[in-house]
Structure 1
């Protein structure tokens, strides 16, 4: 996981699949050591889906549900958190909520409020990363980030990378220039093979187009 970059507008903090697994496993271990035993684990979609599944595995908990909370686009904050999805009866249940990151903190704050309104007996929150800029501090987390950075998790690599590429291709760039800019301007680390796949998918999805020898943003 690295963070160095050149004059960034947004600095990325890169997390690999291996990093993600060990962060999630470590989160489960911390919760177990605290002797918290949930009746149900709720994954916050979309970021918390993978961590919650790994946490559930290490806690041998089969009762895993998902609620969707929309809050962030890349570098952009929505005004309100919207929670959707169906839940089982939470009356008198001990609930563990898992997300990938406490960023602004609004998502976890609103999720706790949402679950309290549905009668949960106790609600414990957990995240892989806690940013000190967050208004909400999870009960459990693995890494604390003292300054704000955009975390790039492997489960959102296409969405995040394509958004950064669209920023770059507001002006025409060759593929080589784009690849260099991702690292130099945003500290986004990506294998060249995956980068080429993402470019092809962006062209297929109508986000960028080839204009002579350069790629430009379409939408």
Structure 2
């Protein structure tokens, strides 16, 4: 897959937002998975009219990138929140699954979304625009 342009991102964002709106989830808080999820989370917040936006920092301390750890918890989560957890692309899926495990017990509902996902990912998100074996570079990389 070639590098993405901003118009490509706008198309992906519109498609992702349309799917989320159609599901009528009543999301009131978006959490970006640091760092790739920052731009998609912000774009989705505008598209969905969600004003509350925060992030979760996840990294790997081991050389094999098998064990994620949280270095920054999401701020401002409330028990009644309906959260959308966002990443730009899902490779292995470990970070997304770990982030979801950290957030889910703290909120009313948690939904997951990304523009792209590799077919061999262990994470099965609620919303994905495309599945692709090769993930592109995004304009913010």
Provide TM-score, normalisation by structure 1: 0.59
Q: Secondary structure of 1:109's partner?
A: helix
Distance 2:72 2:107 in 1: 16
- Taking the aligned partners of 1:14 and 1:77, their CA distance within structure 2 comes to 26
| Alignment gaps of 5+ in structure 1 | 4-12, 157-219
Is the 8 Å Cα contact of residues 31 and 53 (structure 2) preserved in structure 1? yes
Structure-2 residue corresponding to 1:107:
95
Check whether the contact 2:116–2:135 (CA below 8 A) recurs between aligned residues: no
Structure 2 residue 116 is matched with structure 1 residue 141: no
The aligned length equals 138
Q: Give the equivalent residue in structure 2 for 1:152.
A: 137
Rounded Cα–Cα distance in structure 1 between residues aligned with 2:6 and 2:47? 17
Give the 3 Å change call, closer, same or farther, for CA 62–143 of structure 1 in structure 2.
Answer: same
Answer yes or no: is the 8 Å Cα contact 2:58–2:72 preserved in 1.
no
TM normalised by structure 2 equals 0.89
Report the structure, 1 or 2, having the larger helix content.
1
State which structure, 1 or 2, has the greater radius of gyration over its C-alpha atoms.
1
Q: Which runs of 5+ in 2 are unaligned?
A: none
- 1:154-193 maps to which residues of 2 (within 5 A)? 154-156=139-141
CA contact (8 A) 2:89 2:135 kept: no
* Cα shift readout 1:70-117 (whole Å, capped 9, x = no counterpart): 25xxxx852321223242133132111010011101011101100024
Relative contact order, CA 8 A, sep 6+: which one is greater? 2
- What pairs with 1:39-188 in structure 2 (closer than 5 Å)? 39-71=28-60, 78-86=65-73, 87-117=75-105, 119-145=106-132, 147=133, 149-156=134-141
Question: Could you report, residue by residue, the CA deviation over 1:116-152 in whole angstroms, capped at 9, with x for unpaired residues?
Answer: 24x211110000001111001110010111x3x2421
- Structure 1's consecutive aligned runs of 4 or more residues displaced over 4 angstroms after TM superposition are none
Which residue of structure 2 aligns with residue 21 of structure 1?
10
State the Cα RMSD in Å.
Answer: 1.7
